[in-house]
Structures are given as structure tokens and as C-alpha cells.
Structure 1
Amino acid sequence: MRSRLLRTARCLGRDYTKPSAQALRCSGARWQSTSGREWSTPLAKTLAEAISVTGPLPVAAYMRQCLTSDLGGYYTSHNEGRDVFGQKGDFITSPEISQVFGELVGLWVVAEWMAQGRKSEGVYLMEVGPGRGTLMDDMLRTIRNFPALASSLEAVYLVEASPSLREAQHKLLCGDKPIEEIDIGHQSYSKYADNLKVIWTEDVRFVARDPAKTPFIIAHEFFDALPIHIFQSVPPSQPSAPSEITTPTGKHTLNETARLPRASQTNSWRELLVSPTPPYSNHASLGTPKSQQSSGPPPEFELTVAKASTPHSLYLPETSQRYKALKNSDHAVIEISPESQAYAADFAVRIGGGTAPTPTPSLAATSSSTTTTTTQARPVSSSKPEPVHKPTPSGAALILDYGPPSTIPTNSLRGIKQHRMVSPLSEPGLVDLSADVDFMSLAETAINASEGVEVHGPVEQALFLNAMGIKERAAQLVKRALDRERGASLEKSEGERRKEDLTETVKRIETGWKRLVDRGPQGMGKLYQVMAIVPHVPPKEGEKRRRPVGFGGDIVV
């Protein structure tokens, strides 16, 4: 039994190497451990048994296992018919709400391509965390209306860890065109262009950082799912110590500073760790939403403050002056995502050149959320990354996600199930986990990684979409639906049915785009932020710095 637990514990520090032989997730069963305690999922049981051997887990390791473990991770589960997106799933995303969202993101790429000189070759699209492929499908449908850009595209890269989502993306983007395995993942061809490759890879490292290429990178609701570490500033301890010492010269009184170890004279960072809730506990644990604290049993896991420093708490909060400034604020809580920083650095290097680490397991101190058997089998150098020399920066990255525009996220870890907020520490593998994105950290990381880039934003999604013309595009769709109805010659009964369909179509278009820009509590216009990483081009004398469209700039014709 102990050897099995040790093997499980070691797995928490690396990626699982092969998918499970059968689906282990089960929403209607309880799973019993050898101690007799029942757990909601097999993954909950596995985590609890591993923690009993190795001790509490960092929140980042817990999140990674809940989302991507092959023992029933939220995104890597192989349950047939399970769809986490849409009304029947757990949440709905902007591209699913309105096709206009993806169309405008596609137009943003077109506008940046124009502003950067209309490259005729070497252009590629890359989306990280592409969901069901809805956003990329809307983008490609829009881009094909600009033949010069469409012909310059050499590939579409989708960084995706989930086999089931890859299948959905292939069906939507490629139709009935076959998919084949290649050295970096899988490949097929777009239904919009016979020669446009669609390539799936499980790790961004397999997409070469070629200085001759022009990448346009999209990250929509991607960073919020990357693991975070949580730290709390703890005041100096006051250990009991003698107030005086006896020496050959007599007794001497110690002042308070001298009585304390040097390390205890200032605040220190302590990491918040995940451990099982004690059996028969009836209290709400730290990390449980208020809406869940007054009813039902407590979550199966809880957050506790580490009693001593951990390697993460000694290093990560010291990487930025923003974190250091809060160290002496008693009980201040900060959230840091090293994987998010690594992705931002990777995007910046692809666009502007430079040297930056890629999002690797070592950077996050535990296994990468996107590395599986096939990636382990492929050659990936663990040595220091080679610098990318890019004389002329090109390309762009667009990041759309939720989080505070200018402050460090705190207490933002959340669980979502069936469109409701639930405890992130309950039902591991059945609950989606996310946390607010630290946009300022992404901006700081990108600028430090490459001298060839600059960052614009974040701006509210409402501002960005309005600037891109969401209202006008929605009006076009409504007019098109009305014109189609007027031009149809139908029998009365069929006409009445079509009239009802038309009413529903118009209603869906109107409610969809308005929800995306609504700045109220139920809307997405203020909650979501948009940030762009673009080439840094110093303005000529007498000229103003160019701003991208959507961020205060105009379209370059």
C-alpha cells in the first residue's frame, strides 16, 4: 500500500505518462479510501492519499491535477458526451455567445497585419486553449474575406492538451478532412483553404520560435486556468526567549531586537497549501465562497497557511517590486502564476526576439499542464534557451481574460459547476477552477523578456469591442436576416414558422452582442479585459507612437 502511495505522490510532481485505461470520473458515486472515508471522485481519493504521504500541496499543484490529471482531470477526462461549454455545460464563453466576437478578433488580426506592412509569407496563427474551436472558426471565416492575408497564412497552431477537445476542434475547423499524427502532434487541413495546415500540439515549445515568421497569437480565457501560488504575509513571530543572559562579567539585559533571530524581525511570506478537511468537520474552510459557507457539508479539502517557508515562498514573491511592496503589510495575500509569466515571455520573444524561458515543468515547480506521453517522447532541450535574434519585430498577441486591470489578484480562486459558483476545494475533477489574471504581471514579464515589444492595455472588453465596431456588425447581421426573410417566397404556414425563427434570430443577435459589452454586474464588458503585445517601433521625429486598433489607434489602409 505504501509503495502505491509513494508512486502516486511522485506523480504529483510530474505529468502522468499515459491515459487511464478506463474513465475514472463518476459524478454519482462516492469513492472510499482504505481509512474508510468516502470521497466524491477517484481523483479526490488519490490526492488525499498522496498528501498523507508527502504533506499538503501548493495550490498550483492542486489546480493542475484537478484540471489536467489523466485520473479524471476536468479537461482531460474521456467521458463520452461530456461538454464543459455552453448552456448544458458548466460555463459559456464569449465566442459561444455571439459569432461577432470571433469575427472582430479576426478583424483585429487583419488590422495588425496591415499596419505591419502586409507580410506576404511566413504568417501563422496560434491559439492557446482553443476550447471547441469556435473562436478560431469565426476568425478564419473572417480572414478568408481578405485574400492577401489568407494566402500568406502558412499554418494554424492550436495548443491543446485535451484529446476530446482536439476532436471537436478538428470536426469544426477541418470538416471531414483526415487528421494524421506528426512529430509535434497532429495535423489536418482547414475547410476554408485546402493548403492551410491546422496543427495541434500539446506544448507551446513544439512551435518553433522562428525569427523569420510573423505570429499572431490569441489567448482567450486561457490564463485564468493556469495554476497559481498563493502567499500570505505573516508578521514576525514572538518566541519566548530569556530577557537577560549571564556572562563572566555579570548579567546583561537583552533588548527586544537582539532577542529575536534576524529572520524574525521582519514579515515573511507563507504559502497557502491544500490538505484534506478533517473528518467530521462542520466548518467552512478557507477558500470556500460565502454562498457555500452556510449550507451543506464543508468541502473535502481546505487551505492552510504553511508553518514555515517553502521554496516557492522564498523565491516567487521576490521576483517583482510589486510583490515586495506588500511584504510588510500584515496578512496581505497575493497570487502569482509563474506559468502565466512564462507564456507572456514566450509570446514576447516570438514577436520581438530575445531570450526567455518557455512554459516548462521546472518553471512551475511541478509538471506542466500541457505535457503528456507524446510530449515526453519528443526531444525537448532542457538547457538554457537559445536567444531569438529578430532584427525586425513582427506579429502580435491578443489576450482576453478576466481580472483586475492594475492590481495584484487576491482571494480569486473559484470553482464553477453548472453555471454556479462553488467551492474550488470540492469534487476535484468535476469542478472547473480558475483565478483572476494579473495583467500587470503579464505586461511586466513581456517587456522584460524582449526589447522588441510594447504592451497596450489592458482595456475593458466593452471599450475594445465597441472600438472594433460590434454594434455595427450586429446591425449588419440583423439586416441580413431581415433581407433574407423579405426575399423568401413561402406558403403561409411556412411563413409563420419562419417569422418565429426570424424573431428568435434577431433576439439572439441583439442579446448576444449587448451582453458582451454590458458593464453591469451581469455583463461581461467591464469584467473582462483585453491586452495586446505588439512590436515596438519607435516613432519618427514629430510623429506619435502608433496604437493598435481597439486600443486608441486607427486602421491602417
Structure 2
Amino acid sequence: MRSIVRIQARIALRNAARGKCRTPCSAIRHSSSEVRQWSTPLAKQLSEAITATGPIPLASFMRMCLTSDVGGYYTSEQEGRDQFGRKGDFITSPEISQVFGELIGIWFVAEWMAQGKKDGVELVEIGPGRGTLMDDMLRTMQNFPAMAEAIKYVYMVEASPALREAQRKLLCGDAPMIKTPIGHKSMSKYNDIQVIWVENIRDVDSAMFNCQGEGNTPFIVAHEFFDALPIHAFQSIPAPPPPPESTSDTIQTPTGPIKLPSPSTETKRLQPVGPQWRELVVSPTPPPLTPSPKKKPDEFHLTLSHAPTPHSLYLPALSPRYKSLLNTPGSLVEISPESQTYISNIAKMIGGPNPKPPPKEKSTGKGKIKKREPRGAALILDYGPSHTIPLNSLRGIHHHTPVSPFSSPGLVDLSSDVDFTALAETALASSPGVEVHGPVEQASFLLSMGIKERAEMLVRGITKEAVVKGEVGSKDAEERKKGIEGAWRRLVDRGGSGMGKVYKVMAVVPESGGKRKPVGFGGDVE
């Protein structure tokens, strides 16, 4: 589980940001005659690219490490590699307990009922891992025949070929996967629902609304997805000192004195005024001086850009939340443009886009697209602060152990805290037809959804089964009951090793003018 090791991993980045990041940035060139041995092929490729072009943004480094076709963490086709579960690098909530996925499925059933049981339901999961969550959701929805019959398609937004295959096996059994113009498809073992794989949320949007989107009801879930999207990191610095004034307006040369020209008004105007944002960028670490140092340094490290970058000039200016920190030197902020793109698409799929201004010419009415009624919902489950801006949150995990995010590129899982406030702001700005609820702590959400009662029901079922088989008190039955009990408590535990507090849940639903709250966010089943 990524959250358990977040604190230790965060310390490493904080040290980098406060210590190493003040090193001037420049292309790195090593004079050693020995050929450097890199930990992975991706590390070598990254070093060569940075040496040729200069330090790269943290977001570019994360993107390459996670999705590069040269051994990216999620896109590697290495045989037998599995990032999830006890044998992988981390365990997610659906892998811990089936009850988690069941309750997410029930939440969407409750929302479907509250919206009038509309037809044309299209389930969408973004970053579905091995497919465990969707499998639990679909199995649960079979207990609600009307809802199950309303499901038209299942969309899986997945870039990894290996994970797509794992999802197909779990959701579709022996049904083959067929390539399509937008991705792949197969037939689910649940009611023969068609499962469609795409690599980007925009592909879902295109497929769903190619006929003006009439009759489609998208129900979207993103569990531990936004934490894996690349982030840009910025640090505020005081206003640079003005260039020194010349004590004399003339200089002596071999041919005599020459009068210096006065600085032009334009030159003075271009001089930076006030504090600035500078971007934290990634550079290769020079090789150690000794052949075998006791502590091998990370292959890459953070530096602070010596001048403003296009990202530092643009991204922190998008929200007043960032602007207010600019005047505090040393302030750090993390911004994820890709997260904002995804949540914007999600909001538009549910509530429709912002209306365009009418043309100046009088419309003839031909080709007019009918305004779509807001419908559907999205549930986002991830970890991060409820209201503050994340900082120093980049972490690396390998085999359930915190490691430096700048070591072994492609072999280490990288993630960072989710800025839920930024997601909410972007969703509301992207569509007038949605409202946002939460984030609330995962513990509060799951307890209100009945996780304790559902777990107790499963335990009673095991007890009854043991009675029928004459195995009351057997070791197997007792271990199964103990496993169920420990799993649900771990999901709601608000302590340091639990998931109940650090994980948050946020919902995006059709705008109702404050007339109702979804289940799990203060509302009741309608």
C-alpha cells in the first residue's frame, strides 16, 4: 500500500528540494573514461536525453519512468512482472477486501436510482490495475437486475498491454480480445456486456458522444489513479537583485575613453520585479569519485532552474491558491496539469461542456446539437490532503518498501499526493452541469456505506457454511473470518498504518442546486 510508506519517502524529496535544488542547472557531462553502468535501460536513456538537452521537468521524469516504452513501470512487457498484490510493490484496497469493490458498486447503484434509473449506463474505470475493482462492482450489480440490464458498455482506460490482458482474463474469461479503431474489446462474463479498452479518457468521450451523447449515463470510477499522474514542482525565490550600477558612464580603452550607453527603458522593463517561481528539474547525478562507495548515490537528483521556465511562468498563475504563496520565499507547490485535464473531461462527460457564446450571425437552426441533460456520476478515491496544496509528496515504492523516487527508473512505482481542491475547482470550471461533494475520509465513506455490516454478514456466512460441513472451529474457517475482520478494519483505520484517514473520496454528480447529497456524503438512499 503506497500510503503506509509515504512519510519516509517524502523525507528524501524534502532533503533534495532544500539541499540539492539550489544547484545551477546545466547539461551534465562526465569526464570519466569508464563506461557508466546504469541500473536500467531507461536510466541510461534518460541520462543521454538530459545530457543532450539539459535538465527536464519533474513531470517529464515521472512520465518516462511510469509509461516509457523502454521499460516504463506500467508499460513494461517483462514476463511475470506484477506490480500489485503481496508479491508486487503495493496492495490496493480492492486487493485487500472484496467488500471495498462491492460498496463502490452499491454506491453507483444508489446514484443510478437517485437519478431515475436511466438506461444506457456506461461504466468507466480509469487506471483499473488488474481489474479487481470492476470485477467486484459488476458481480455486485448482478444482484440488482434492473441496474445490470441497464449497463450498455464497460470502458477500461488502460495504457499497459500486460494489465489489459490481466483485466481481460478476470472480466471476460476465455473470450478473445479484438483490436478496434480506438483500442480493444472483448465480451464480459457478466450478461455478455461488451468491455472496451482505450488508452485515454478522451477516447471514451469520443466513443460515448459520437451521436451527441443522447441516452448515455456514464458512471466513472478512478481509484488510485490521480496519484500516479505526473506533477510539476515549483519553489518561490526572492526578487533577484538589480544589476549593479556603473560608478562611471565611461570606460578607458587603448584608443581612449568611451561613453557607455544608458540602459534602455525596454531593458529596465524586462528586469524581473518581485519574487518568482522557479521549477524543480531533474538532472543525472555525477558518478561517485570512489569506485565502490559505501552508500551508492541516486542516479538522478533535483535542481532548481536557474531561470523561469514556461511552466513556472504559467502554471502557478492559474489559481489564487498558488499566487498567495509567491511572496513567501521557499514556498513549494506541486501542480498536475494532466490531473486537471482528466477531471475536466470527467466533468464534461457528466454535466456537458460550458456553453459556447452564440454566433454573431442569426442561426438557421441546421445542424444544431441538442443540449444534453446532465447525468451520471464519478467517484474518485485516492490519497492526499483535503484542502491544502501538496508539497514534497513524491515517493517511490519497490516491493512494499520506501525507496528514493530517483533510483532505478522503471522499476520503482512513483506517486504523489492528490490535490483534491484543484480537482474540485477544475471540475466546476469545466462544466456548469456538475457539483462536487467531498473529499471525505475513506473511513467515513465506507462506514456510512455499511462496510462493518457487510463484513459481519460474510463472517456469518462462513460460520453457517462450517456448521453445514461439520467444520465449526476449523482452522480454515477461523482464518477466513479473521482475514475478513482484519481487512475491513484496515480500510477504515485512521491510525498511522491504516487507510481510513489518509485516503479520501470525492464525488462529481449532476448539479442539483443543493437539493440532495449523494450516499456516503451525507445523503440517504432514495
TM range (shorter): 0.7 to 0.9
Q: Partner of 2:258 in structure 1?
A: none
Q: Are 1:100 and 2:110 an aligned pair?
A: no
Give the structure 1 partner of residue 127 of structure 2: 129
Q: Which residue of 2 aligns with 1:307?
A: 306
Over the residues paired in the alignment, what is the CA RMSD in angstroms? 2.4
Which residue pairs with 1:374 in the alignment? Answer: none
* Residue in 2 that maps onto 1:88: 87
Following superposition of structure 1 onto structure 2, how do residues 409-420 of structure 1 map, counting pairs within 5 Å? 409-420=390-401
| Per-residue CA distance 1:495-538 (angstroms, 9 max, x = gap) | 48x81110110011000000000000000000100000000022
Counterpart code for 1:128? I
Q: Deviations over 1:81-124 (max 9, x none)?
A: 111111111000000000000000000000000000011x2110
**2:202–2:345 CA contact under 8 A, matched in 1:** no
Percent identity over paired residues: 61
- 1:100-249, aligned counterparts within 5 Å? 100-119=99-118, 121-194=119-192, 196-207=193-204, 208=206, 209-210=208-209, 211-212=213-214, 213-242=216-245
- 1:389 and 1:311, CA in 2 relative to 1: closer, same or farther beyond 3 A? farther
Partner of 1:273: 281
- Structure 1: distance between partners of 2:351 and 2:495: 37
- SS of the residue corresponding to residue 335 of structure 1 reads strand
| Distance in 1 of aligned mates of 2:151 and 2:519 | 21
Shift of residue 240, structure 1, vs aligned partner: 4.5
CA contact 2:288–2:297 (8 Å) conserved in 1: no
Name the CA shift for 1:117/1:263 in 2 (closer, same or farther; >3 Å). Answer: farther
Measured after TM superposition, the shift of residue 183 of structure 1 is 1.5
Contact 1:353 1:389 in 2 (8 A): no
Is 1:455 paired with 2:436?
Answer: yes
1:439-518 matches, within 5 Å, as 439-489=420-470, 495=471, 499-518=474-493
Residues 424, 390 of structure 1: CA spacing in aligned structure 2 closer, same or farther, 3 A cutoff?
Answer: farther
TM-score by length of 1: 0.80
CA shift, 1:262, in A, is 6.0
Show the counterpart of 2:20.
none
Q: Secondary structure at the match of 2:298?
A: coil
Q: Secondary structure at the match of 1:486?
A: helix
Structure 1 pair 277–476 and aligned structure 2 pair: CA distance change class (3 A): same
Letter in 2 for 1:550: G
Aligned with residue 548 of structure 1, among 513, 518, 526: 518
2:133 maps to a residue whose letter is: L
TM-score with structure 2 setting the length: 0.84
Distance 1:261 1:245, change over 3 A: farther
DSSP 3-state at the match of 1:38:
coil
Letter in 2 for 1:68: T
Higher relative contact order (CA 8 A, sep 6+): 2
C-alpha distance in 2 between matches for 1:168 and 1:400: 22
Deviation at 1:351, TM superposition (A): 0.3
CA contact (8 A) 2:354 2:432 kept: no
Gaps of 5+ in 1: 1-32, 248-253, 283-293, 357-385, 490-494, 540-544
Q: How far is 1:390 from its partner?
A: 4.2
CA apart distance, 1:321: 1.1
Question: Post-superposition, which runs of at least 4 consecutive aligned residues in structure 1 deviate over 2 A?
Answer: 208-211, 243-247, 258-265, 386-391
Give the C-alpha shift of residue 46 in structure 1: 0.7
**C-alpha contact 1:354 1:387 (8 A) present in aligned 2:** no
Q: CA separation of 1:483/1:100 partners in 2, compared to 1, >3 Å: closer, same or farther?
A: same
Pairwise CA distance, 1:265: 2.7
Distance 1:305 1:486 in 2: 66
Count of aligned pairs? 463
Task: Say if 1:243 and 1:259, in contact at 8 Å, map to a contact too.
Answer: no
- After superposition, the C-alpha distances for 1:413-464 in whole angstroms (9 at most, x for unaligned) are 1100011111000000010000100000000000000000000000000000
Aligned partners of 1:122 and 1:152 also within 8 Å: yes
CA change 1:478–1:42 in 2 (3 A) is same
The Cα of 1:391 is off from its aligned counterpart by 3.7
The AA in structure 2 aligned to 1:332 is S
Query: Structure 2: which amino acid aligns with 1:277?
Result: T
Alignment check: 8 A CA contact 1:42 1:72 kept: yes
Match of 1:264 in 2: 272
Q: Is the 8 A contact 2:493 2:499 kept in 1?
A: yes
Q: Secondary structure at the match of 1:104?
A: helix
Match of 1:528 among 503, 508, 512: 503
Question: 1:389/1:63 Cα in 2 relative to 1: closer, same or farther (>3 Å)?
Answer: farther
State the alpha-carbon separation in 1 of the partners of residues 247 and 518 from structure 2.
67
